[in-house]
Amino acid sequence: MAAYLVVDSILTNPELYEEYKLKAKPLVEKFGGEYLARGGNVSLKENKLWTPARMVLIRFPSSADAEKFYESVEYQEVLKISKSSADRTVLILEGI
């Protein structure tokens, strides 16, 4: 069953975040991930629970693959750049 890494972020240092994007993409691909959406326009229809800012959606073959990516030593190093350049909410959602 596929799984989706869903990220909502507010960039606090856009220049530094560009470095994160360059380093994260090859790691996503290494773990079988595919970007489906990356910071595109959002047409908000309802927001009683939360108002998204900048959304990223990545499909992985399984939740195990998504977890392996997120917990990998390589990504944890790159994640430090993201944490220094954005405030984020991240979740893994099982899907079809």
Question: In the chain, what are the domain boundaries?
Answer: 3-40+52-94
pTM of this prediction?
A: 0.94
Q: What is the pLDDT of residue 50?
A: 93
CATH class of the region 3-40+52-94: alpha beta
The pLDDT tens digits of the residues spanning 6-15 come to 999 999 999 9
Nearest to 42 by CA among 83, 10, 18: 10
The pLDDT tens digits of the residues spanning 15-45 come to 999 999 999 999 999 999 999 999 999 999 9
